[in-house]
Chains A and B, each alone.
Chain A
Amino acid sequence: MIKFKIFFNIEKEEQWLNHMLSNGWICTNVNSAGLYTFNPTTDVEQIIRIDFQQDLRNEEQANYKQLYEDYGWRAIKEKSYDGTYYWLKRKDGHDELFSDNDSQIAKYKRLMKHACSWAVLSFIWLLCLSDNHSYFLNIKDAYLTPGLWDKEGLAFLFSFLFETPFAFMRFIPPWLFLATCCIYVFLYFRYRKSIEQILQ
């Protein structure tokens, strides 16, 4: 079974994967496009944890993986391009990746840094795309066909339908970047709140 889902928050993603697992579906592959492959399993006494480690160089990555494997964790996907690592293990009472507050906080700090850079990046893209253009404020302005709105009947319909995909390509991306930016800003504060909760 393949499911499509997009997560921004790895804690929500982890919860969902474990929920699927408890229903007898084990995740066997995750793809960057948001496609999750599941196989049926009868062994529901397993646990999935998502770790976030950015900027691991090749040698460090091998070292990192070896350590987790020594602990009995098995990687669900071999390579990580975005810093997320999916680990699977049989439940044995030692089912967490972190055993003290410092390392838990360090994880949230890595996630905050990640969220922050994506928020800034998408904001920059948004600025680039919306620079001197009003396409995304009024969808009518995204139609660039000369004299389109003065046309009538079939001529209008034809030009309108022809231009529509292009208009959407001008209209939607700025909104997407704006949404992405907002989501990451929200995530940033969420992770910060998680740290505060640990420190309380």
Chain B
Amino acid sequence: MKKHKLLPLSETMHYILLALREPLHGYAMMQKIEEMSAGSVRIAAGTMYGAIENLLKYHWISPVETQDTRRKVYQTTAEGLQILAAEQQRLQRILSLYEGADGYDKV
């Protein structure tokens, strides 16, 4: 099977999907991600816009109805959460290799 275009998730996509487990608009997302990453990831405006468009295209996030008529608010969809779960497994495997497992047993 051909791998999905967005997989494995880039750092940007990873943080956005994680941040959007609660509904947020673009700029609030950037702020939250900056906080989540202890200041090491600051997603620029154009990158944020493109990432949102991309994630919407694959239905990994979806717009949420809110009072704010000017700013669109988004949230990670069930499909997006599945992607996150799969990525978590993949990363856990890699982490276990970091931590000395030889990769042949368990995991």
Contact = CB atoms under 8 A, between A and B. Distances in A.
A98 B44 contact: yes
B58 interface: no
B71 interface: yes
A71 B27 contact: yes
Contacts of A53: 49
A71 B30 CA distance: 9
Contact of A94 (B26, B27, B42, B71): B42
A62 B46 CA distance: 14
B10 A67 contact: no
B27 to A, nearest CB: 4
Interface in B1-55: 10-12, 25-27, 30, 42-51
A88 B78 CA distance: 38
A97 B45 contact: yes
A51 B50 CA distance: 12
Residue of B25, B26, B45, B51 ringed by the most chain A CB atoms within 10 A: B45
B46 A107 contact: yes
Interface residues of B, number: 20
* Secondary structure type dominating chain B contacts: helix
A97 B50 CA distance: 11
B11 A100 contact: yes
A73 B49 CA distance: 13
B70 interface: yes
Nearest to A93: B42
B27 A67 contact: yes
B72 interface: yes
Interface band, chain A: 20 to 34
A68 to B, nearest CB: 5
A102 B45 contact: no
A98 B44 CA distance: 5
Nearest to A70: B27
Contacts of B71: 66-67, 70
Interface of A: 51, 53, 62-64, 66-68, 70-71, 73, 94, 96-100, 102-103, 106-107
Given A71-B27, A97-B47, A102-B12, 17 more contacts: A63-B72, A66-B70, A66-B71, A70-B25, A70-B45, A71-B30, A71-B45, A97-B44, A98-B44, A98-B47, A99-B42, A100-B47, A102-B10, A103-B44, A103-B50, A103-B51, A106-B50
